[in-house]
Amino acid sequence: MNTPVEGFSKLSKAEKIDWIASNFTNNPERTKQLLQQYWNPDKEVQKVHDEFIENTVSNYYLPFAIAPNFLINDKLYAIPMAIEESSVVAAASKAAKFWLDRGGFKTEVIGTEKVGQVHFIFNGDSSKLQAFFTEIKPNFFKSTASITKSMEKRGGGIKDIELRNLSDKIEGYYQLHCGFETKDAMGANFINSCLEQFAATLKTEAFEYAGFNSEEKDIEVVMSILSNYVPNCLVKAEVSCPVNALNEDGIPPKEFAQKLARAVEIAKVESYRAVTHNKGIMNGVDAVILATGNDFRAIEAGVHAYASRNGSYSSLTHAKIENDVFTFWIEVPLALGTVGGLTSLHPLVKLALEILQQPSAEELMEIVAVAGLAQNFAAVRSLVTTGIQKGHMKMHLLNLLNQMGATESEKQQLVQYFKTHAVTNASVKEALEKLQS
């Protein structure tokens, strides 16, 4: 029976591997070999990877790919993507090529404000708290001057601080709701440092405030933390062209445009469809976010909250046909950074940003939004024409053949065969068995 381990974090890397292999795997020697197989041969590079997180025993690789031919605001990009799912890169590339000759993608950064909050409990008169806040508000800025100095030199800093009364939801619950501008940094550490100082200032000033009684002076700070919901850190990306330019094999352009618009409209009103619709968008978004060293979990949480902002979960993309022009667009909140964090540490992240021509945070917002829009266009295009499986399963074919242990010769023959046959698990298995016999 396995027993708990004491001081695991203090063990050497070799000792960690030996413990996990011996206690939790069927073939310890094979486990050790597998983990070491994925180490970077450059010891200095591996040391960088080992220090990203705690208790590292190996590296977990994702494919690093390029989706070419993205024309964004009349500038050509090749977009790095890190993702494991078949057909995502191919679909994005296909959408990029489709729109390349139709004017490309147009983007606009609508806002870049990020948010942090100090959550606290105040047992007293709310009007007195408001008067207190108005009087001491300048002190929040003064107390964080040393923290904000460098950020302000780059054009960032604290945008505003407001007091919010949420005592109708939880007794005595209030918050300092704070807006920040962090320029090219994602800014999490900056924001959290400011918030923790706000909390300290709040408690100190309350204790000294003559207008409070003894109970009111004892403000309880529950927590101080940034929010990953950033509805004012927003970017828009769109494509448009005359309806008659939407030439699709076998479908009249007007009918094709109507099918696309109708599919998007369904995702706007039907949450079951909207979730899968938006997941497809995030295939493109997350792949670029991972490749550029940003936090895809934070983006996912914020994006899905934004998709629910009107009371029900809905499509992030929109489509319309007006005056014989088809327009397809997305508005999405993206709090991204191009300096700090992994952007200066991970070798492939640095390369990804170089490939993207060293974008600012705002430019990266535009690129990521375009990747999401392209992915969604490709998916909806397939759904309303050939169906999603035709293209997806073709791309998934090699994965199936590898799982079934096909040789290189067998793979080559079957790739040719399935260019004209439907790909399913059963059909691939049957064809491989027939070939082998």
Residues that are catalytic: 85, 279, 295, 392
Which tokens belong to 290? 């991972």
Strands 220-227 and 114-121: antiparallel
Which whole-number Å values give the CA distances from 250 to 246, 260, 321, 422, 432, in the listed order?
12, 15, 20, 19, 33
Work out the number of other CB atoms within 10 angstroms of the CB of residue 134.
Answer: 10
Tokens 């494919």 -> residue? 63
Show the beta-strand stretches assigned E in 59-191. Answer: 64-72, 75-82, 106-109, 114-121, 157-165, 173-181
∠137-142-143 over CA atoms, to 5°?
A: 95
Helix orientation angle between 271-291 and 253-269, rounded to the nearest 10 degrees: 100
Nearest to 302 by CA among 115, 147, 125: 115
Nearest to 404 by CA among 414, 395, 417: 414
Dist. CA 236–CA 111, nearest whole Å: 10
